[in-house]
Amino acid sequence: MSSLSQASLLHRHKGTLFSAMSSKELLDSLDSFDAREDDIFLVSYPKSGTHWVAEVIENIPGAGITLTYPIEWGDISKLEELKTVAKRRVIPTHLSYEMTPVSVKQKKCKIVYIVRDPKDTAVSLFHYYRDNPNLPSPDTWPSFLELFLKGEVVYGSWFDHVLSWEKHKNDKNVLFLFYEEMKEDLVKTIKKMTAFLGISVDDTEMSKIAQNTSFSEMKSNAVKENCDPNHTVCALTSDRNLVFRKGVVGDWINYFTPKQKSVFDELFREKMKHSDVGRCLEEYGTQMGHEVDFHSLQRSA
């Protein structure tokens, strides 16, 4: 990535890289955001499944919600626009816990945090950087992976982001979801999420939601709805065609060399040695295709 392209497309806020799609003024003003007690926040590191969860929630009949654009997207006028949303707001964001507006924490808004295997996340983010004109195009996969491991990509280190939210995994207003679990049993994930949000859905409706929000269905719909500005769920682009690429679990194996895997795994073990999220992801990696008890993460403190 040339320093020139980086300079025009990215900027730093509190040490973390952000896209120019998030203005400095807006990021500086996030703590002025007035959260409502019934707000729902969809939080994740980029390329972890936020769009997927957003689609699921939007497909819940009679939920009485409005999916908004991300809280860190655009300029400062966007914070004022969010005030005009009359229904219960579902607000996506890729912000770390520390950068999340104070009022969200004070009012204990419902927070759904989505986690995805970091190797798959890195590969997906690499393609996102390559295809998204709002991000500087990386020269090669090895050079991008090096930046990813250093946290020199948008929203910083995957490890720091996940750990910042994991500290709050036992808070009653926080629900952790795993991308891999959604791929394995979407109906089970929908049940967990609707129960958490206090929305009543019967089994027939759940099956229908799962069918309507399968990855292939969403990718197909993205083409049809690409011009709809109300579906700007990512603060890095409003082009929905860029969002849904493969959605495959384990695609990283087609990119990582044995040495890259070894370096990545060593860093993962070091950073995530005390992490229940890390344990769940490692279990899934060794038991690929078998049932993993992701729900054990959400045990009471």
Mean pLDDT by 10 residues, the chain (301 residues): 62 96 96 97 95 90 91 94 96 97 98 96 94 92 97 98 97 96 91 94 92 72 55 63 60 94 97 96 71 53 35
pLDDT value, residue 204: 93
Q: 295 in a domain, yes or no?
A: no
82: domain CATH number is 3.40.50.300
Total domain count, the chain: 1
| CA torsion through residues 265, 270, 271, 273, sign | positive
Pairing of strands 88-93, 40-44: parallel
156: its two tokens: 């910083």
Q: How many angstroms separate the CA atoms of 128 and 168, rounded? A: 29
Catalytic residue among 94, 127, 161, 231: 94
Q: 85 in a domain, yes or no?
A: yes
Q: Residue 278: which H helix or E strand, with range?
A: helix 276-286
Q: 301 in a domain, yes or no?
A: no
Q: 243 in a domain, yes or no?
A: no
> What's the pTM?
0.89
Q: How many angstroms separate the CA atoms of 252 and 284, rounded? A: 14
Residue-number span of the structural domain to which 160 is assigned: 3-236+248-289
**Stated length of the chain:** 301
Q: 155 in a domain, yes or no?
A: yes
Pairing of strands 110-115, 40-44: parallel
pLDDT value, residue 62: 82
Q: 298 in a domain, yes or no?
A: no
Active site annotation includes 51 = no
Residue 221: other Cβ atoms inside 10 A: 16
pLDDT value, residue 3: 44
pLDDT value, residue 124: 93
Q: 300 in a domain, yes or no?
A: no
pLDDT value, residue 85: 96
pLDDT value, residue 237: 62
Residue 280: other Cβ atoms inside 10 A: 21
Helix (H, G, I), strand (E, B) or coil at 107: coil
pLDDT value, residue 239: 61
Instruction: Say if CB 181 and CB 199 are below 8 A apart.
Output: no
Instruction: Say if CB 209 and CB 201 are below 8 A apart.
Output: yes
Instruction: Say if CB 180 and CB 282 are below 8 A apart.
Output: no
Write b or e for each residue in 241-259: b if 16 or more Cβ atoms lie within 10 A of its Cβ, otherwise e: ebbbbebebebbeebbeee
